[in-house]
Structure 1
Amino acid sequence: MSSQQPRYVKMHDNDNVVIIANNGGLPAGTVLDNGIELREAIPQGHKVALTDLAAGDIVRRYNVVIGYAKTDLPKGSWLNEHRLDMPAPPELDNLPIATEKTTLDPLEGYTFEGFRNPDGSVGTRNILAISTSVQCVSGVVAHAVERIRAELLPKYPNVDNVISLEHIYGCGVAIQAPDAVIPIRTLRNIARNPNFGGRTLVVSLGCEKLQADVFFPDRFIPIKNGGFQRQDENIALVTLQDEENIGFEGMIQSIMRAAEEHLIVLNKRVRTTCPISDLVIGVQCGGSDAFSGVSANPVVGYATDLFVRAGASVMFSEVTEVRDGIAQLTARAASPEVAQQLIDQMRWYDQYLGRGSADRSANTSPGNKRGGLSNIVEKAMGSIVKSGSTPIQGVVPPGERCTTRGLNFSATPASDFVCGTLQLAAGMTMHVFTTGRGTPYSLKEAPVVKVATRSDLARRWHDLMDINAGRVVDGDATIEEMGWEMFRYMIDVASGRKQTCAESLKIYNSLALFNPAPIT
């Protein structure tokens, strides 16, 4: 298909807008095949009015009201954030509760090669992770990690990597505040991620508020003469302020000795054939554009359905990016109890935003708007489709562990980094991340499969994007075809047969804790 031929995408027969698909957009005067002439130049991904709109008229995309015309807009006009008034947020009362009962046939016969842990969980990678109890130790731990990689890791070829779980929590915080439980349990559960083999190595300073018995209350107990006694041989604690650590090199040697004890055990892990039901997958979008809900997210949604049919646990997230579609979610809840949990998480977040004098409109970024997304309502409709079509079986509060097979909602902020951090805490062992504007986001704790919404982005960032869903927009592949392609690719990544682009390049983002509690 010629790039000069005017192309557009209409999501539903009832919509009164379409988005322009051509790279670079289309100039004023272009006539679409439906006879509408563009009254002005319209960028790629941006909306065109299909009918004359009077001020206050409904603007509909995805068969959903995404806004109201601010002024009279003749057909062929460009609709953007400046020309739309956003609808009020949906109420959290009188919602449809567990009314949709979509049933898909089980998908059998698919397995992957994973690392089974003593607790029965399965990792996709074999990583030594060093937890930090406070930011003060991060520089020392970073130095130790480089030494471990250079001097110890070559002796243990079955271990994929050594990483530090650095963060900015642990001291100067109101650690007894009610909401402090969120960052504390997040750090605790990240340390338990299945990709780390059930081994936990903690490096502390010694004087911080996040003491070992608060960090891991079931695995350390204080002793009379100071310090802590561990209750589990799978955990180790190195405290830099301990008297035996003489100088910087003494600290490094203490960390390296503890690390080698763990490396010996981790090196014995081998990949074994595991059912797909042992996978825990997180899906997320960032740097979204108007094509996110056209190509990449529907492809992810199709793959989500395949993994759920095969028994896997799949989490979608981002409270503010599903809030405007809450009625869709409560209708898909597997039970009234799950629907109520969804409502509770939305209400808590509404109150959290209210305390900061913010609302859901703060979500949409300048890049989202340049990519054609006028407001959070439009963005939400494209975001939700990552979840596929199966019933929502569980809701995971922020920082908690996912314990339910099937489709889960993991209640996280929409921030890419915070969402990824909380999904790691929930037990995610593989991440899928869609993007339209482009972002090099990745994680060192789990492989991240990057999906481009547009072929132009996939071409320009050819060594950063793993899958080009823009082929759907180009007419070169269907959502079903690409969903199966993604499903098979992800199994190869989970099995270690393939590395993602970010893994090959070794580019990673830091953890970002969600901490709604005060900082003192």
Structure 2
Amino acid sequence: MRHLLKVHPSDNVIVALTDLSKGQTLTYEGETYILQDNIQQKHKFVTEDLNTGDPVIMYGVLVGKAMHPIPKGGLIHTQNLKHAAADYSGKQKDYTWTPPDVSKWNDRTFMGYHRSDGRVGTANYWLFVPTVFCENRNLEVIKEALNKELGYGQSEKYKNYTRQLISMYESGQSPDTMLSADLSLQEEMFHTKRLFPNIDGIKFLTHQGGCGGTRQDSAVLSKLLASYADHPNVAGVTVLSLGCQHLQMDDFKQEIFQRNSKFDKPLLMFEQQKSQSEESLISEAIKQTFVHLVKANTQQRQPAPLSKMVLGVKCGGSDGFSGISANPAVGYAADLLVGLGGTVLLAEFPELCGVEQELADRCINKEIAAKFVHLMKSYNAQAESVGSGFHANPSPGNIRDGLITDAIKSAGAAKKGGTAPIVDVLDYTEPATKPGLNLVCTPGNDVEATTGKTASGSTLILFTTGLGTPTGNPVCPVIKVATNSDLARRMADIIDIDTGDIITGQTTIEQKGEEILEYCIRAASGLEKIKSVELGQDDFIPWKRGVSL
């Protein structure tokens, strides 16, 4: 078992891979350190005496400055280190990339759903979309009517659990007896067979927008909903509108065809204020959707080259191991996919703070780098205008597990994108059209980021986590990658891949990256039971372009 790791040769901090004790003497790369503090696993100590204002370097970049003197072997924490990041501008130097060897995947395919515009989905969903929050209740009624009857309902075990409590109450048993009772959580299956085996699910994008707020909010929401309607994992769309809201049906339809002039999926549109009654609206929407589901079910998976895969990379509930196990392993898988002609989307702009210049230099031209710099600076300025900023991004959980500053968090988060050149920078909801690594402007917030990444075209998302998070997406399967094996064991019901063996030295980043790519190929073919999909974690939060980190 390894105890220490210096991530980059120029770093002046070392990561503790196990819990270390004050006074312990350790030798690393020929240098001896006497620890001045207890160092918990995932936290860091400095390799030299630091004075007030001295820089702290990790991942080879500035991640903070000492607020007080820190002795060699001393722990860095929020009381002695403040966030700092290097300034940045446009592209300053050329970037040369040597792709990894991808020869053994050159002839590989995945089994996907081919769309008429040439894109390939990894799943086949039917989508219900409200143009305004007033229709959320009607969507819930339709969801209740369709999902269980067609075989897409969730487990009944918690309903059965509640029934047991009701039975105890009705029989006169006391609350203390109920609390101490060993109740059953066995599955109670209602309908195990799908009526439409080639339809992976019926999804409902309920939201709180479409009216009220600003017209700009509704315009952004229209682009977002249009991107989901156009998504390659979607077979068809049913749209419900009230009629008087900001986001009008015609505007939404126009947004779809502006995005994709070749859009030819079924688009069923219903307006409640033109309907005879709520009952007629809902029954007609169910009937027409059912008929089109019959047609959509005729689509079947067909072989597709790996170049047709669009992989989103995301982290959430991050810890001090994220940047040294799961994120670089996902980054290596991303490099493999780029080498095969595929597309990778790296988002979360607040979590690219401190590595902006490196990313700008990786852009393939000055125009793309300038767009990235503009989006980053305007986003941060907006946050600072209300008294915040990118520096406020780390959560209490991040900090407890070793991510002391945003720059430390960000430098590790950026590793998910690998090392490939950046071929494009996309604003929120802009579609990815260029194979290779793309940057997508979204918040760092888990659901807002996955929502936005899917809008740009991700057909699979690799989501790394060190603390655990149940985030999913309605139409893009979200694969959870644990940074440590303890998490993978404790939250096995939500974790798909464990990269903790990188920390213990049992495998390498490259080997784990290859394993992750193989998992993605199986997942894209419908051959893996992805936990977020199995649990129905269909999280969807539109970003209003306000201050969200």
Instruction: Report the residue type matching 2:12 in the other structure.
Output: N
Q: Match of 1:385, SS?
A: helix
2:210 equivalent in structure 1: 170
Q: What is the SS of the residue equivalent to 1:36? A: strand
**1:24-103, aligned counterparts within 5 Å?**
25-34=19-28, 35-87=32-84, 90-92=87-89, 95-97=91-93, 99-103=94-98
Matched positions, count: 494
* Structure-2 residue corresponding to 1:352: 382
User: Would the alpha carbon gap of residues 139 and 510 (structure 1) be closer, same or farther in structure 2, given more than 3 Å must change?
Assistant: farther
Matched, 1:189 2:189: no
RMSD, matched Cα: 2.1
Residue in structure 2 matched with residue 373 of structure 1 by the alignment: 403
Residue pair 2:229, 2:256 contacting (<8 A) in 1 also: no
- The one-letter code of the counterpart of 2:452 is L
The CA deviation at 1:111 is 0.9
**Change beyond 3 A, Cα 1:88–1:322:** closer
Q: CA deviation at 1:51?
A: 1.9
Runs of 4+ in 1 over 6 A off after TM superposition: none
Residue of structure 1 equivalent to 2:162 = none
| In the alignment, structure 1 residue 215 sits paired with structure 2 residue 252 | yes
Matches within 5 A, 1:262-301: 262-301=292-331
Distance between the aligned counterparts of 1:515 and 1:204, measured in 2?
20
Deviation at 1:48, TM superposition (A): 1.1
Deviation at 1:429, TM superposition (A): 1.0
CA distance 1:309–1:505, shift in 2 (3 Å): same
CA distance in 1, matches of 2:432, 2:62: 33
**For residues 519 and 444 of structure 2, what CA distance do their matches in structure 1 show?**
26
SS of 1:254's equivalent in the other structure is helix
Distance 1:432 1:219, change over 3 A: closer
Q: Is the 8 A contact 2:209 2:218 kept in 1?
A: no
What is the Cα deviation at residue 376 of structure 1?
0.9
Q: Deviations over 1:286-319 (max 9, x none)?
A: 1111211100000001000111111111100111
Q: 1:205 is matched with which residue? A: 242
Residue matched to 2:124: 126
Match of 2:539 in 1: 510
Distance 1:216 1:113 in 2: 30
Seen in structure 2, the aligned counterparts of structure 1 residues 517 and 443 have a Cα distance that, compared at 3 Å, is closer
Alignment of 1:304-343 (within 5 A): 304-343=334-373
1:261 CA displacement: 2.9
Hey, what does 1:148 align to over in structure 2? 146
Sequence identity (%): 35
| 1:202 aligned partner, one-letter code | V
2:253 partner letter: F
Deviations along 1:411-457, one digit per CA (max 9) or x if unpaired, are: 11111111111111111111110011211111231111111111111
Separation (CA, whole Å) in 2 of partners of 1:333 and 1:490: 26
Could you tell me whether the CA contact under 8 Å between 2:222 and 2:255 is conserved in 1?
A: no
**Per-residue displacement from partner, 1:429-486 (whole Å, max 9, x unpaired)?**
1111001121111123111111111111112112221111111011111011100000
Aligned to 2:182: none
**Matching residue of 2:154:** none
CA 206–7 in structure 1, closer or farther in 2 if over 3 Å, else same: same
* SS of structure 2 residue aligned to 1:463: coil
How many angstroms does 1:392 deviate by?
A: 0.7
The 8 Å contact of residues 131 and 200 in structure 1, kept in 2 or not, is answered as yes
> Does the 8 Å contact 1:397/1:410 carry over to 2?
yes
Q: Which amino acid aligns with 2:10?
A: N
Letter of the 1:173 counterpart: G
User: Is the counterpart of residue 116 in structure 1 residue 125 in structure 2?
Assistant: no
Secondary structure in structure 1 of the residue aligned to 2:202: strand
What residue number does 1:236 align with?
268
SS in 2 for 1:112: strand
Secondary structure of the corresponding residue to residue 77 of structure 1? coil
| Contact 2:502/2:508, CA 8 A, preserved across alignment | yes
Q: Is 253-262 or 405-414 further displaced after alignment?
A: 253-262
Deviation at 1:244, TM superposition (A): 2.4
1:213–1:219 Cα contact (<8 Å) kept: no
Counterparts of 1:473 and 1:206, CA distance in 2 = 56
Deviates more, 1:331-340 or 1:508-517: 508-517
Amino acid in structure 2 at the alignment position of 1:256:
I
Tell me, yes or no, if the aligned pair for 2:210 and 2:218 is still in contact at 8 Å: no
Assess if the C-alpha contact under 8 Å between 1:133 and 1:202 holds in 2: yes
Change (3 A) 1:455 1:214: same
Counterpart code for 1:44: Q
1:14 Cα deviation from its structure 2 partner: 2.3
CA displacement at 1:110 relative to structure 2: 1.7
Give the alignment partner of residue 4 of structure 2, picking from 3, 8, 25.
8
- How far the C-alpha of 1:251 sits from its partner, in A, is 3.4
| TM-score normalised by length of structure 2 | 0.86
The aligned residue for residue 471 of structure 2 is 441
Contact 2:47 2:72 in 1 (8 A): yes
Once residues 218 and 337 of structure 1 are traced to their aligned partners in structure 2, the CA distance between those partners, rounded to angstroms, is 26
Q: In structure 2, do the counterparts of structure 1 residues 483 and 218 end up closer, same or farther at CA, with 3 Å as the change threshold?
A: closer
1:423 is aligned to 2:417:
no
If the length of structure 1 is used for normalisation, what is the TM-score? 0.90
What is the one-letter code of the residue matched to 1:165?
L
Q: Cα deviation per residue 1:360-402 (whole Å; 9 max; x = unaligned)?
A: 1121111111110111111111011111111111111101111
